[in-house]
Chain A
Amino acid sequence: MMSYAQELLLAVRLLWRDQRAGELSLLAAAIVIAVASVTTVGFFTDRVRLVLSEQSNQLLGADLTLASDRPYDSEFEAEALKRGLTITHALRFPSMVARDGENVLADVKAVAPGYPLRGELRLAERMFGPEHITRDIPVPGTAWVDERFYTQLNLHPGDTLALGKLRLSVAALITQEPDSAVGFFNSLPRVLINVADAGTSGLIQEGSRLRYRLYVAGDAAQVDAYREWATPRLKPGQNMEGIRDARPEIRNTLERAERYLGLTALLSVMLAAVAIALAAQRFLARHLDGCAVMRCLGARQMTILRLYLMHFVLLGALASALGCAVGYAAQLVLASWLGTLLAVSLPNPGAAAAWQGLAVGLSVLLAFGLPPLMSLSKVPTLRVLRRELGGGRVRGALGYGLGFAVIGALCLWKAHDVRLAVYVLGGFLAAAAGSAVVALGALKLLGLLRTAGGITWRYGLANLRRHAYAVSVQTVALALGIMALLTLSLVRGDLLQSWQAQRAPDTPNRFLINVQAEQLAPLREFFTARHLVQPDFYPMVRGRLTAINGRPVSAADYSEDRAKRLVDRETNLSWAVQAPADNSIAAGRWWGGQVSDSQQLSIEEGLATTLGLKLGDHLTYEVAGASFVATVTSLRKVEWDRFKVNFFVIAPPALLRDYPVSYITSFYAPPDAATLLGELVREFPNVVMIDVAQLMGQVQKMMDQVVQALRFVFLFTLAAGLTVLYAAIASTGDEREYEAAVMRTLGASRRQIAATHFAEFAVTGALAGLLAACGASALGYALAVKLLNVSYLADPWIWPIAIGGGAAGIAAAGMLGTRRVLRAPPLASLRRAG
């Protein structure tokens, strides 16, 4: 018996011999491309994710913030420093700020050196002056103010402001402030001062509405660990915000981007598996004779299995390592190419993607390689005499069950989301099973047609029908590849459309809040006089939820931060007769035009989930010292990322009309409207105007990056799809070569053989295209509607494109791949076939 060392040595020799003989090139290429595409996606998405989270963090001014309504314990700072994180802090409070006796309520932020930890603070010398980025903070005795404050007080550089006991000189105009976006509905005009001045202002007193904030930034893992450490130590009135807790539209975008990139990576893995399965099958077919001889010479099944297992592990490790290197190089090229488009420098990727690539390469190779190896070890010894014995088909649960189990596990791992993995895997499995059945049926049906038509058509069809089992597997593999490409282009198109809809040129970019009822008419006049589109004004009543079904509620009832905040703070309530046009009713019924019972509420779905509210609940709200009870009669779905005015809670007009009300609106201001907006602020000094253009700019930039990333990732999926195609063609190459040689011996011309191949490939391609179009439409619908929450537009062009493209593409690639078959001298081919 051979020792393990001898077996290993023999395995190395077999590997070397197979490599020399070109037997491994397809298998190795499949692994290399698989791993390369996975790692390129891995490395690149890693970097894009880092960019996205850094960009998003710019909106927070940090990776994580701790907000507290009283000074937080010093251990929070000490622990952050101990963990190697960077920190700074700020203090925020609303205060009247005066100039020459004119008072404006401002949101004062006193910042310490280092602020902001993420993002940029941009300043200008004066209104509309050139802006520059600063890494400094206001020196003591000076203030930086934002555009709204500047306009409202009609300031000039050097003007002196009174803030409590402080006298501050206006040193600069803030044009971009990173964390202004967070919770902008509550924001007042900004005055930024040095934290050293805050103490001397005399405004830091017991009972002042102060908000202390600790900013933390650093290595993502460290930040997460710090957050885990800090969360249980939070006291009432304290909360932590990471980017995920920030504005819902940013959160949605980031989550959507992560899902989509995850999905793309996942599709590449599946395509790679198909290519490897085909290549492994071919490896099996080519090694049956050798193994039969080895068994004749006394090798045991286990010996052969171990030998080829070592062979595969060695091959897998080498090819995966090469794939990782290719992946790394590819993402470098991508980064340099995309870097200029992104205008940001991508951070270095972690090594995780390389390990993932190795793991993916080895596990997929073994999952799809092991079943053929089992067949190989069981080859009947008699095959040395009768070659038709032990054809080496992979059948049964072990055959592809193992492969699917590994793919399932990889999906889960890659998707970081059970639902996503189940959807995609379920979609692929259902499509694969359905496709196999349909393909088999179609091939049988086509076989009936083969008595008609010319020789090439007849023999092409006969070939397809005779190989129905193999061809249907091949068709399914190709269909999966085409389907992946279609799904990506479809969902990608849908997603782009959805994003572009958000980016429509007249998307509102300014909000007006605190509009009083008596100002509605003059404001409308203001808009009409300046030929601006008349905006809709929505009533807004501030109320606090105090009881659910008669049971008082408090923040302590909830564990989730968001729920605590929602209960702690006042909510904006509105009234309406009709449901807002872009809201959809998810449950219950909207009240009609004739409201018989005014004690009703329509609640936003997310709020209902967070607070555990359901239809029929009786909610008690306290508004301006009085309270009312109303029943939840509908739940609404709201698209938060559309920059439109939306409300968590809407009631029939009769319920809220008599409470103190202000109005809110959003509108689009063209870029050249700055003067006009200044006039508006001066004419309606109490009205607060919020500029969301800057915020939208940041969101848009992120989306552009995501789209660019997707395009590139899409190219890799395409490459993986082509590998499948090549593997499928190569897997039948030997058989084709033999058949062509026999036919040529019998007098067939090259043209006749080529035409037979063409008929075969075109039919296979058209069938694969048809199946792919069905699958992609179904999967695209499921992904778009169920998962990505974007409306799905079925594109009828998918059918002709998929079928025509499939037929033409597979025929062209097939003809290219079988050129060798037509060139080889018949005698050589016949001898090879034995």
Chain B
Amino acid sequence: MVENSVAPIVRASGLTKQVQSGESQLSILSDVSFEVAAGEAVAILGVSGSGKSTLLGLLAGLDTPSSGTVEIAGSDLYALDEDGRAALRAQLVGFVFQSFQLLPAFTALENVMLPLDLAGIAGAREKARAMLDRVGLGARLDHYPKQLSGGEQQRVAIARAFVREPKIVFADEPTGNLDVATGAQVADLMFALNRERHTTLVLVTHDAAISQRCSRQLRLTAGRLERQTASA
């Protein structure tokens, strides 16, 4: 279901990303435009190398486009400087990565506390503990990433993404590094949190089952947005 009546929380217009490869220009994304409404769950699909992760990185302000704009909650992301984008992320955005990207030097609890600490939010420890409880890791607060299984690490990452109650969560192949059963559990958790907290979810995936759980699917082919389909 597309809620056109609500102002979009993410708006991408004419996004293009080119990189220099030897003598030639390689086009990773070409003129990608779409909108995501608040509370929507959108899946970005495509084969390997189609530009999915690059698109996600640009939507989150982790990279800079060759041209085009991204608006997050009305703010033009690329009109801001790097620190401005970081501040916007701290305020509005959560992240889940395929390879978890937990800081190996920190415990599960500290990893989840990190976004709260960075934003200077009081009671970080308690909030982080509650969040880890919610994802079923209340007994593993003081474990380091290398002491956790892949599924557990991804649950820590999900807790970290949702702990600040962000408006949007970007997820890059969140189940890509997990076996089917664990992947399903992690996906369940993510969609459950998304519903509970009315978060907007933008996720990149290969997994048809997961993409079908989103309200809309965007398919990228060779850096171009091919079609948008809505789930029933």
Contacts and interface: CB of A to CB of B under 8 A. Distances in A.
Contacts of B54: 827
A827 B83 CA distance: 15
B90 A466 contact: no
Interface stretch (A71-79, A426-434, A749-757, A766-774): A749-757
A368 to B, nearest CB: 25
B142 interface: no
Contacts of B83: 749-751
Contacts of A467: 105
B64 interface: yes
Given A746-B89, A826-B62, A462 B114 contact: no
Contacts of B82: 744, 750
Contact of B62 (A749, A751, A752, A827): A827
Interface string B21-51: 0000000000000000000000000000000
B90 A748 contact: yes
Given A742-B101, A746-B90, A830-B97, A825 B63 contact: yes
B103 A742 contact: yes
B57 interface: yes
Contact of B91 (A466, A744, A747, A834): A747
Nearest to B94: A746
Contacts of A462: 105-106, 110
Contacts of A742: 101-103
Given A455-B117, A455-B120, A745 B103 contact: no
Nearest to B56: A827
Contacts of A739: 103, 105
Interface in B93-116: 93, 95, 97, 99, 101-106, 110, 114-115
Contact of A744 (B57, B86, B146, B160): B86
A458 interface: yes
A747 B120 CA distance: 11
B232 interface: no
A250 B86 CA distance: 69
A747 B118 contact: yes
A466 B144 CA distance: 10
Given A747-B89, A748-B90, A827 B118 contact: no
A750 B83 CA distance: 6
A745 B105 contact: no
Contacts of B90: 746-748
Interface string B59-71: 0101110000000
B170 to A, nearest CB: 9
A742 B91 CA distance: 16
Contacts of A346: none
Contacts of B97: 830
A459 interface: yes
A463 B104 CA distance: 10
Interface in A438-483: 455, 458-459, 462-463, 466-467
Contacts of B63: 825-828
Contacts of B110: 462
A388 interface: yes
A14 interface: no
Contacts of B99: 834
B167 to A, nearest CB: 13
A459 B117 contact: yes
B119 interface: yes
Nearest to B166: A747
Nearest to B161: A746
Interface in B173-203: none
B87 interface: yes
A387 to B, nearest CB: 8
A187 B201 CA distance: 102
Most buried by B among A388, A743, A748: A748
B138 to A, nearest CB: 20
A742 B117 CA distance: 14
A388 B146 contact: yes
Nearest to A749: B83
Contact of A825 (B62, B101, B105, B118): B62
Nearest to A745: B95
A463 B105 contact: yes
Nearest to B99: A834
Interface string A107-149: 0000000000000000000000000000000000000000000
- How many residues of A sit at the interface, in one of the four size bands? 20 to 34
B57 A746 contact: no
A743 B113 CA distance: 11
A638 to B, nearest CB: 61
A573 B62 CA distance: 89
A745 B62 contact: yes
A455 B62 CA distance: 23
Contacts of B104: 466
A98 B136 CA distance: 115
A440 to B, nearest CB: 16
A628 B25 CA distance: 104
A747 B62 contact: no
Most buried by A among B57, B60, B120: B57
Contact of A466 (B86, B101, B106, B118): B106
A829 to B, nearest CB: 9
A752 B114 CA distance: 12
Interface string B128-165: 00000000000000000010000000000000100000
B114 A743 contact: yes
A748 B160 CA distance: 14
A353 to B, nearest CB: 44
A747 B64 contact: no
Nearest to A742: B101
A828 B57 CA distance: 10
Contacts of A746: 89-90, 95, 114-115, 118, 160
Most buried by B among A388, A463, A747: A747
A830 to B, nearest CB: 6
Contact of B89 (A459, A745, A828, A834): A745
Contacts of A752: 118
A466 B110 CA distance: 12
Contacts of A744: 62, 82, 86, 89
Contacts of B117: 455, 458-459
A747 B115 contact: yes
B105 A749 contact: no
Nearest to B89: A747
A748 B86 contact: yes
A541 B106 CA distance: 82
A35 B148 CA distance: 45
B57 A827 contact: yes
Interface in A782-834: 825-828, 830, 833-834
Contact of B118 (A388, A463, A743, A830): A743
A466 B105 contact: yes
A830 B95 CA distance: 13
Contacts of A834: 99
A833 B106 CA distance: 17
Contacts of B119: 747
B171 to A, nearest CB: 12
B164 to A, nearest CB: 8
28 contacts: A388-B146, A455-B120, A458-B117, A459-B114, A742-B101, A743-B103, A743-B118, A744-B82, A744-B86, A745-B89, A746-B89, A746-B90, A746-B95, A746-B114, A746-B118, A746-B160, A747-B86, A747-B88, A747-B89, A747-B90, A747-B91, A749-B86, A750-B83, A750-B86, A752-B118, A826-B62, A830-B97, A834-B99
Interface of B: 54, 57, 60, 62-64, 82-83, 86-91, 93, 95, 97, 99, 101-106, 110, 114-115, 117-120, 146, 160
Given A744-B86, A745-B101, A750-B83, 10 more contacts: A466-B104, A466-B105, A745-B62, A747-B87, A747-B115, A748-B86, A748-B118, A749-B86, A826-B63, A827-B57
Nearest 10 Cβ contacts at the A-B interface: A747-B90, A466-B105, A827-B62, A827-B57, A827-B63, A747-B89, A746-B115, A455-B117, A826-B62, A749-B83
